[in-house]
């Protein structure tokens, strides 16, 4: 493939939205209130919309007739390069909100930079997505505050979720080979530069929510290299079920 690095770079962005969208979609029909259910589905729909734009572009780059669905549903587990954070399961609503929040803050900062990419398709996608993500960030931040500064029970649950998810945050700022290669062409975002600002923003919301900022410096990594937590395999067996069971058919 001529543009191998660009292809890989797009997957690195899109896989995050795919896996997070899938997790949010699991909740549809099971949310804590009708209104919240509808809101979470909107987030899932936004993410899948983004995924389609990215994968359609990636499919075009391969030039071998691959489709968005081939890319989304027919790779092996080790070929998905999403961060570990987004594949964490919906243990309870605090985990759902915590995962969303910790990703949204990053996602917004990332898209703000991607808008400046020299790749016009990517910068156009980013410009569209950032409005959606701006709302996601507001939604999840508001819920962090509600649950953190709500009842004793909700604070304990929210704190537990933040503590549990914290270990997956550092990976967001690791550079992959594709990232580095694309920086030279002015296409990719240097995510390592976003780190300081990210933790500042996250801390300020957590403090507003009267939650403690975890002090642990032990972080997990591997998602970007395709080495995932045990949760991803199950998510993929759902996601890929139809394409695997009935290969080469149109739906």
Partner 1 sequence: MSEEQIKNLEEQFEARIARDEKIEPKDWMPEKYRKTHIRQMSQHAHSEIVGMLPEGNWITRAPSLRRKVALLAKVQDEAGHGLYLYSACETLGISRDELYEQLHTGKAKYSSIFNYPTVTWADMGAIGWLVDGAAIINQVPLCNTSFGPYARAMIRVCKEESFHQRQGYEIMIKLASGTPEQKEMAQDALNRWWWPSLMMLGPTDAESIHTEQSMKWKLKRKSNDDLRQQFIDQTVPQADLIGLTVPDANLKWNEETGHYDFGEIDWDEFWQVVKGHGPCNKERMNARVGAWERGEWVRDAAMAHAEKKQNRKDKQAV
Partner 2 sequence: MSDKKNWPLWEVFVRSKNGLEHRHFGSLHAADADMALENARDVYTRRNEGVSIWVVESKDITASNPENNGELFEPAQDKVYRHPTFYDLPDEVKHM
- Residue numbers of the site for partner 1 (CB under 8 A)? 22, 25-26, 28-38, 41-42, 44-45, 48-49, 51-52, 55, 68-69, 72-73, 92-93, 145-147, 149-151, 153-154, 157, 235, 238-239, 241-243, 246, 249-251
Stretch that binds partner 2, among 37-45, 95-103, 126-134, 231-239 (CB under 8 A): 37-45
User: What is the distance between the alpha carbons of residues 147 and 111, in angstroms, rounded to a whole number?
Assistant: 27
Nearest to 46 by CA among 108, 112, 116, 115: 108
Sign of CA dihedral 183, 185, 189, 194: positive
Binding mask 141-180 vs partner 2 (x if CB under 8 A, - otherwise)? Answer: -x---x----------------------------------
Residue 21's contacts (CB-CB under 8 Å, 6 or more residues apart) are: 43, 44, 45, 46, 47, 48, 51
Print burial letters for 161-196: b (CB count within 10 Å at least 16), e (below 16). bbebbbbbbbbbbbebebbebbeeeebbbebeebbe
In the complex with partner 1, the residue whose CB is nearer, 116 or 128, is: 128
Q: What, of partner 1, partner 2, none, does residue 157 touch, CB below 5 to 8 Å by kind?
A: partner 1
Shortest Å, Cβ 50 to partner 1: 11
In the complex with partner 2, the residue whose CB is nearer, 146 or 221, is: 146
Q: What, of partner 1, partner 2, none, does residue 29 touch, CB below 5 to 8 Å by kind?
A: partner 1
User: What is the distance between the alpha carbons of residues 97 and 155, in angstroms, rounded to a whole number?
Assistant: 13
Residue 185's contacts (CB-CB under 8 Å, 6 or more residues apart) are: 118
Taking CB under 8 A as the criterion, the residue among 29, 33, 120, 251 binding partner 2 is 33
In the complex with partner 1, the residue whose CB is nearer, 32 or 186, is: 32
Please count the other Cβ atoms lying within 10 Å of the Cβ belonging to residue 143.
Answer: 22
In the complex with partner 2, the residue whose CB is nearer, 129 or 235, is: 129
Footprint of partner 2 (CB under 8 A) = 33-36, 38-39, 42, 135, 138-139, 142, 146
């Amino acid at each position: 493939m001529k543009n191998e690095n660009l292809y890989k770079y797009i997957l690195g962005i899109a896989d995050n939205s795919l896996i997070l969208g899938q997790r949010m979609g699991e909740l549809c029909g099971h949310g804590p209130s009708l209104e919240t259910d509808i809101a979470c589905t909107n987030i899932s729909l936004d993410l899948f919309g983004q995924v389609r734009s990215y994968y359609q572009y990636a499919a075009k780059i391969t030039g071998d007739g691959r489709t968005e669905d081939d890319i989304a549903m027919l790779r092996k587990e080790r070929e998905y390069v999403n961060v570990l954070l987004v594949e964490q399961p919906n243990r309870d609503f605090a985990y759902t909100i915590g995962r969303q929040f910790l990703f949204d803050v990053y996602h917004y900062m990332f898209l703000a930079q991607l808008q400046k990419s020299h790749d016009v398709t990517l910068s156009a996608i980013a410009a569209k997505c950032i409005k959606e993500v701006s709302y996601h960030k507001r939604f999840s931040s508001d819920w962090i505050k509600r649950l953190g500064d709500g009842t004793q029970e909700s604070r304990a649950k929210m704190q537990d979720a933040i503590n549990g998810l914290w270990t997956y945050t550092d990976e967001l700022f690791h550079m992959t080979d594709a990232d580095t290669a694309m920086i030279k062409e002015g296409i990719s975002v240097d995510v390592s530069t976003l780190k300081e600002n990210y933790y500042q923003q996250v801390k300020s919301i957590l403090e507003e929510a009267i939650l403690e900022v975890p002090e642990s410096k032990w972080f997990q990594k591997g998602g970007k290299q395709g080495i995932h937590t045990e949760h991803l395999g199950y998510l993929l067996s759902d996601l890929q079920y139809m394409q695997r069971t009935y290969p080469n058919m149109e739906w």
